[in-house]
Structure 1
Amino acid sequence: MDRLKIVLALAAVLLFNVIQGVLCATGTYRLVTTLMQNYSKVVRPAESPQDAIMVAYGVALQQIIDMDERNQILTTNVWLRQHWTDASLRWNPEDFDGITKITLPSTDIWKPDIVLYNIADDKFEGIMKTNAEISHDGLVSWYAPAIFKSSCKINIQYFPFDEQHCRLDLGSWAFTINHLDLVARRNSGDIDSFIHNGEWVLKRMPVERELAKYDCCEYPYALLHFTIVVQRRSLFYVFNLLVPCMLVSALTMLSFYLPADAGEKVTLCITILLSLTVFLLLVAETMPPTSDVIPLIAQYYLTTMILVSVSTLLTVIVLHIHHRGAYASRPPAWFRKLAMDYLARVLCLRSCRSLHGAQTVPRISFENAPAMREVNNTMYKNVNMDCNQLEMNNMMAATTKRDVLGVGRRNRLQQTLDLIAGNLGKIVERYEEEDMDKEMRFEWIRIAYIIDRLFMWVFGLTTIIATLSIFLQVPSFG
């Protein structure tokens, strides 16, 4: 009885193994076993050694991860799409239950050695090892995601309104065109699934095929150049770098409007110059250190710094003219006429012209001195006549002693009047000199005021022209 049970158990196990083997021998398992029986993934699967395997290659750009301007490296997330024909992976669907397509790990089949020529990754791990789809006619379709770090020559001439052209140079590393012919699946890369980027706008992604000839090989290598054309979103840089620079530059106008007696004109110009220097250092940190071109924003900052430096020089000239009346003579006639007549009329400074034409500043002319002396002499003569009349009266009624006393009083009175007349003359001359000094200083102050307004308008117009000439260089503006 026990032997019968053992025999039945062995028979059941044997029957199960037979049934399982039959089931496994059908369908996909039998197909994969048959294909991989004598398959080698290191052998180029061509019909004959002379035939070239044509690989249709495509790239779908998913995301721009990073654009490192200083190191000139572009990091992108892409989906790679490759199609080629493997002559060793063909079968008749009728022999395998009508199966027309199977999926195999990409590590078990031959793959073209397409690499990124301009790679800039020190830890390159290659493409993700995804499965490949194989058709019964030997067509292999392999879709795999990858993250590429490629070198990209950054052109910062129009920064921050620049447009960058970064290429992905893809091609076979070992096979020339007589063994592996690389062609593009489409006329351009696929950008339909591109993820929005806050710094860059993807414009287009054209593809170009090149046959690169090297001295080492008889046949050229087929290369595909996928050019990623992106334009920088300039709003961030406009509000954080350009607008502050424009506002700081506009403050320079106040240095001309500030009165010369305030004593802060030069200080304001130097403070503005230091502020522009700080902003220029911030811009230099975000751009690659190159000497090929001068970035547009650097040109603008440099031009603004030059204008502010010139405005400082002009402010010093205005201050020199303003305080020149303290140690110099009157302004030359041609200088007064040029400033108070012509420049004041052009700049619509009517107050300065009226002051110059009407001579409203009170003054005492030097011609008043002889008249004052004449008045003093007349007063002296009248007093002398009165003294003579008094002397005659006294001589008729006084004694000799009283006559002597009268003569003494007359002499003292005459001396007092002479002293008063001399002092009055000196006072008049002193007031005349002070009035002349005040008028001379007022003339220099008025001329300095007119020239200061002239420099303000010249600086404003020059700043506007320089700004427009720089920003009109941008292709999108021009």
Structure 2
Amino acid sequence: MKISSISSLKSICINQPAPKDRFWTPDIGIVESIKIEFGTKDSPYLQLTCFGFTVTSDVLSLTTACEMNLYRFPFDIQSCNITLQSTAHSVDELVMNSLYDSVWLTEESKQTFQAQGEWELLSINMTSSNNSMLWSVKNQLVYQITIKRRPLLYLVNFMLPIFFFLVLDVASFCIDSSGSDKLSFKVTLLLSISVMLLILNDTLPSTADKIPLIGVYCSVIFSLIGISILETILVNFMMARGAKKRSVETTAAVTGRDDCVRDQQNPPDSVRDQNEEQCRTLDRLKQILTECQAATRQNPREKTSLCWTRVARIIDVTFHFLYVITITVFLSVLGKVWGLY
């Protein structure tokens, strides 16, 4: 008797398919949807279980609106909600609950999640709440989907090249400031960054709330290289000013010596020997006098030219030191805000 009852129970508890149009289906919609028509793929049948459940599955192609915070782009983490709610039934008539927990749903969703490699699924959390309206209270089932952007594409194609340009600008301080090669090199770096910003303008997201950190990163590096160019122009101007004063002094000294030589080369033949001996004596005296004057004091023009050159070198070294410190502090603060370390 017991064996026959158990076998009959097993035969009754087998899941049976049934036409879906013969059963009541609740009208459940998605609040965040921005399309009226959905691309669905549903089965015309459902399954009846011996526990009193009806099981049906639908495949839904959904387009939703999600507010994104792009302040930490491309190292941003976004959270989007999918809210299920009935449009006709109140909380007294329809209550929605999830069949699985968040851990199981997250693990299963990671295996089927596809986002062309740019996004990574972190978690899916579920909450059930009641939404109060003017005429009724409706039950809601909210799925919070948290995704993280993979920054490798933007890091390799955008951020690292601009950082290398900044490193080249720091290394350009080793170039001699007396020539124009250093200034030309810095201007080329600035133009290269400008061209890259124009090319990658469509890649960067646009936002109206606040400037993303990647915009701050590009703007500050562009400004630092621009300030470095201004400092190079100032140093070159001071070096050229000092060199000009030294060249004027050297030209005057050479002119005076040539006059003396011309006076010595055109005396009469009768007194040539006597003048040569006197010139030798005078040359020795002048040499001794010049050495004494150089030991005691310097020419005011020479002092001025050396002052311009010395100030230019001091400015260049000081700016290089402050430039490196500013870059280090800026990148450290930006990395902490970005969450890199």
TM-score (norm 1): 0.54
Distance 2:241 2:30 in 1: 73
Task: Report the counterpart of residue 97 of structure 2 in structure 1.
Answer: 183
For 1:461 and 1:291, locate their aligned partners in 2 and report how far apart those are by CA, in whole Å. Answer: 32
Q: Which of these two proteins has the greater Rg computed from alpha carbons?
A: 1
Q: Report 1:291-310 matches (<5 A).
A: 291-310=208-227
Q: What is the alpha-carbon distance in structure 1 between the residues aligned to residue 101 and residue 199 of structure 2?
A: 41
Aligned CA distance change for structure 1 residues 108 and 476 (closer, same or farther; 3 Å): farther
With over 3 angstroms needed to count, the CA separation of the structure-2 counterparts of 1:468 and 1:129, relative to structure 1, is same
Could you tell me which of 298, 317, 321 is aligned with 2:234? 317
- 1:392-440 deviation digits (Å, cap 9, x = unpaired): xxxxxxxxxxxxxxxxx9xx969x97xx98xx99xx8xx99xx875664
Shift of 1:145: 2.4
Corresponding residue SS for 1:473: helix
1:248-259 to 2 correspondence within 5 Å?
Answer: 248-259=165-176
Deviations 1:160-192 (A, max 9, x none): 111111111111122221221222334427122
Distance 1:320 1:262 in 2: 11
Partner of 1:142: 56
Q: CA 1:260 to 1:114, structure 2 compared with 1: closer, same or farther past 3 Å? A: same
Secondary structure of 1:206's partner? strand
Partner of 1:243: 160
Is the Cα contact below 8 Å between 1:104 and 1:132 reproduced in 2?
Answer: yes
CA 1:222/1:122 → structure 2, altered by over 3 Å: closer, same or farther?
Answer: closer
Q: Which amino acid aligns with 2:81?
A: R
**Aligned with 1:125 (options 35, 39, 45):** 39
1:206 paired residue number? 125
Match of 1:33 in 2: none
Summarize the alignment of residues 426-437 of structure 1 with structure 2, pairs less than 5 Å apart. Answer: 437=301
- TM-score relative to the length of structure 2: 0.73
After the TM superposition, which residues 413-432 of structure 1 pair with which residues of structure 2 at under 5 Å, given as runs? none
Partner Cα distance (1:247, 1:134) in 2? 65
- SS for the counterpart of 2:48 is strand
Aligned residues: 295
* Residue 395 of structure 1: aligned partner: none
Report if the CA contact (8 A) 2:13-2:49 is conserved.
no
- Equivalence for 1:192: 107
Alignment RMSD, CA only?
A: 3.7
Contact between 1:107 and 1:129, CA under 8 Å: does it hold in 2? no
Q: Aligned partner of 2:107: which letter?
A: D
> Could you tell me which residue of structure 2 aligns to residue 162 of structure 1?
76
> Contact 1:256–1:455 at 8 Å: present in 2 too?
no
Aligned pairs (5 A) from 1:232-381? 232-325=149-242
Give the drift of 1:108: 4.1
Cα deviation, residue 244, structure 1: 0.8
Percent of aligned positions that are identical: 24
- 1:456 Cα deviation from its structure 2 partner: 1.8
Against the structure 1 CA distance between its residues 98 and 207, is the aligned structure 2 distance closer, same or farther, given a 3 Å change threshold?
A: closer
Structure 1 gaps of 5+ residues are 1-92, 330-361, 370-408
1:25-77 per-residue CA deviation (whole Å, 9 max, x = no partner) reads xxxxxxxxxxxxxxxxxxxxxxxxxxxxxxxxxxxxxxxxxxxxxxxxxxxxx
Change (3 A) 1:276 1:437: same
